Amino acid sequence: MPEALEMRDVVANIGEYRILDGVRLAVPEGSVTVMLGRNGAGKTTTLRTIMGFVPCLNGTVRLFGDSLAGLPPHRIARLGVGYVPEDANVFPNLTVAENLRLALPRAHGRAQAEEAVEQVLGLFPDLRQAYRRWAGHLSGGQRQMLAIASVLVSQPRVMLIDEPSKGLSPRFVDLLGEVIAQLRGRTTVLLVEQNLRLAAVAGERFTLLDEGRTVMEGPMEELLENTALQQRYLGVRVRERGN
Ligand SMILES: Nc1ncnc2c1ncn2[C@@H]1O[C@H](COP(=O)(O)OP(=O)(O)O)[C@@H](O)[C@H]1O
Ligand SMILES: [Mg+2]
């Protein structure tokens, strides 16, 4: 069985700068894998390379065994890769319901659409409550939930989520962790996260990035037990543990 998502020896530039130089990761189907690394390590660039926004100059990116080499972002999205970028946007002048409906696959009939929305609302009680409200009136945390829900409702085979906890209150960070943990088995998630607490709640496996390369991968417990590793590659963020 091929991995849902696999990268090997990936090299990528932005302009003339080498940003990724040896990214390797394996995301098993149905798992939540967390990618960690300090600011500037290359996490966002890795997700953008998977999506085809940044060309992969060397190495391989595979989705369920098939190479994504040279495909444009819209083709990669159509193959079932959902992307929730950093500072994900929602449509502020539409309601929560309208945001979700807009994200549904066009081929869905009415019953199928209702079922897809219902399934997603089951994971996000906050959004069910705010279903008829303008997305622009939601809190930052609720907006982040809506951005994730909008991708989820399209039933992606693999979801890439970039630092969803950024700027959120501790209550929402915990909520997000629980929501993402519930995605296990429903879809496959590659979550970028600097918040070790959220990573610990949501993730089963980790991949650690530093200066554009993968330095370690393994079960989440290995990272949680290894404070030396946390200190070396995640630095000051370690202090957030147990807050
Ligand atoms: N548009 C850009 N132009 C030049 N350098 C960039 C650009 N985007 C990112 N970088 C550089 O690439 C490196 C990795 O950035 P990024 O992938 O955003 O890291 P992370 O998401 O881990 O914080 C950083 O050194 C950053 O300065
Ligand atoms: Mg980033």
CB-side exposure of 235: number of CA atoms within 13 Å? 9
* 36: containing domain: 5-89+156-240
Q: From the CA of 43, how far away is ligand 1's center (Å)?
A: 8
Ligand 1 atom 2, closest CA? 14
CA neighbor of 193 nearest in space, from 203, 183, 181, 185: 203
Q: Is the CB of 213 under 6 A from ligand 1?
A: no
Test site for ligand 1: of 45, 160, 165, most ligand atoms within 8 A of the Cβ:
45
Does 32 map to a domain?
yes
pLDDT of residue 88: 80
Does 96 map to a domain?
no
CATH code at 63?
Answer: 3.40.50.300
Does 142 map to a domain?
no
CB 53 within 8 A of CB 75: no
Q: Relative to the alpha carbon of 37, which ligand is closest?
A: 1
The atom of ligand 1 lying closest to the CA of 48 is 17
Does 215 map to a domain?
yes
Does 55 map to a domain?
yes
Looking at the structure of the chain, the number of domains it has is: 1
One pLDDT digit (tens) per residue for the chain, 243 residues: 789 999 999 999 999 999 999 999 999 999 999 999 999 999 999 999 999 999 999 999 999 999 999 999 999 999 999 999 998 889 999 999 999 999 998 888 889 999 999 999 999 999 999 999 999 999 999 999 999 999 999 999 999 999 999 888 888 899 999 999 999 999 999 999 989 989 999 999 999 999 999 999 999 999 999 999 999 999 854 445 444
How would DSSP label each residue in 37-69?
A: --TTSSHHHHHHHHTTSS---EEEEEETTEE-T
Q: Relative to the alpha carbon of 210, which ligand is closest?
A: 1
Q: How far is CA 59 from the centre of its chain?
A: 22
pLDDT of residue 65: 97
Does 94 map to a domain?
no
Q: Is the CB of 41 under 6 A from ligand 1?
A: yes
Query: Rounded to an integer, what distance in angstroms lies between the CA atom of residue 103 and that of residue 131?
Result: 15
CB 29 within 8 A of CB 183: no
Q: From the CA of 27, how far away is ligand 1's center (Å)?
A: 23
Q: From the CA of 13, how far away is ligand 1's center (Å)?
A: 10
Does 123 map to a domain?
no
Does 131 map to a domain?
no
